[in-house]
Every structure is written in C-alpha cells, then in structure tokens.
Amino acid sequence: MRVAELAEASGVPASTLRFYEKAGLLAAERDANGYRRFGPDAVERLAFIAAAKRFGLPLEEIVAVVEVWAEQACRAVRDELRPRVAQRAAAARRQAAESAEFAERLEEALMRLERLPDRESRCDADCCDSTAGLSDTDNGTGTSTGTGAAPQERWRTAPIACELDAGGLNDRLAAWHRLLAAADPVRAPLPDGIRLTLPTRHTSALFELATAEQECCPFFDFRFHLDGPQTHLEVRAPAAGLQMLTALFA
C-alpha cells in the first residue's frame, strides 16, 4: 500500500511514516514511478512501534526491538524488551523517590515560612532557616542547580504536555508547516529526534518559533548550529514526545 493508504489504515500521519522510514523503523519499496509501497505487515509493525513507545523507550532502542520483532519469535521479543523495560522502570522509581523526598522537604520549608512573623524589618537568620534541608544541587528531578556534576538535561524529565489550547496548537502547527514548506529543509533522523538543514536566511524566523515552542512544550530540545550559508537545527524529545515532534518537523 502507498503512504496515504497506510496512513489511513493505521491512523499514523504520513509525515510520521516518512520519518519512521528514515529512522529505520519502517521499510518501503519503490514502484516503477517512484512511489513508496509498504508491505502487508506495515500496519502490524506500526502497532508494535506504538506499543514500544508507550514503554518510554528511546528511538534507537525501538529500532533494535523492531528488528527482533520482524525476524524472530515472540519469546525473543520478550527477552529483548524485558531488560529495557526493567531499566526504564528502575529509572522511573528512582525519579519518583527523589521527587517525593524533595516534595517532603519543600513542605517542611513551607511550614517554616508560614511560622515567620509578619514584620517590616529586613530578613535575618531566622528567615534563612526556612530553606534548611534544601540543597542547592538538587531540585527533586535529578538535575543539579549548583556547579558540581553536569546537570541532566531539562527536556528529558519535562512533562509531555503542551500548554497551548486547541486553537493555539493549530496556529502553531500551521506556522511551523509554513516555515518548513518555504525553507524546504534537508531532514535526517537522530537518536531521540530529527536534524533539519536549511538556508541561513530562515534562521531568524526559525529561532523565533523555536523560542515560542520551548515556552509551551519544554520537553523539546532545540540546538542551533550556524554553518556558513546553512543553519542546522537539531530537535529532540523523550520517547513519549516523539509523535508530537514528528507532527511538527518530520
């Protein structure tokens, strides 16, 4: 079946299908007139990819698991998935424990703040005591706010949610699609995202949109590289946000 037919049968946008093909998740053949044609197992493959994404696996791990799914028995897929899901579960438990501990310390600090007198003089040591127990290198998400070890990147732990309403989201999608249609970037898949290469004259508009996008969707990671007549933009997202990423950029 062709791209449009597969998109209709699977409910996956055509832009996402093309991104999956570039990333090695989906194979297509070309017929005599150059159109992509997908095999009869493509819908089932897409359903499996969707299931793997719900485990929170990064793109490169999904590629590896899909290869096993396509070639081997169910037990091999189970054995391939089990350690990966166990690793994700352990990481989620650690993050939940760290967040719970930090929330408890914040509640204690809040209680101390509530006990402070309502006075007009400057703060003293009693005021500063309200932050006792809070480290300047821990914000409860596993990221550092001090100068010690390199912090975990914010986009990796940000909630997968857009703060725009339906109308704002549609306007934003249209703005991205207009810009990318005019710039006609070269796209290349990356682990966790996509790389766009486009003429430098579009950089200002690109940066403006990326800045706005970061405000409402902090789970996106944007990295610019100015390279003479070209600008390279790398956009990444956690596994759970890849479908939104492909809707915008693929």
Is the CB of residue 229 less than 8 Å from the CB of residue 200?
A: yes
| Under 8 Å between Cβ of 240 and 56 | yes
The number of residues in the chain equals 250
Residue 66, pLDDT score: 92
Going from the C-alpha of 229 to that of each of 22, 120, 196, 201, 225, the distances in angstroms are 25, 59, 14, 8, 11
pLDDT along the chain (250 residues), means of 10: 89 82 84 85 91 79 91 93 88 78 82 78 66 50 45 78 82 90 88 90 93 91 92 91 84
138 phi, psi to nearest 5 deg? -145, 125
pLDDT at residue 103 in the model = 80
Domains of the chain: 3-71 (1.10.1660.10), 94-152 (no CATH), 166-249 (3.30.1370)
Q: What confidence score (pLDDT) does residue 35 get?
A: 84
Angle at 206 between CA 201 and CA 209, to 5 degrees: 150
Write down the pLDDT at residue 237: 92
Does this model's pTM top 0.75? My answer is no
| Token duo for residue 67 | 């290869």
Q: What is the pLDDT of residue 43?
A: 93
Give the N- to C-terminal CA distance of the chain in Å, as an integer. Answer: 20
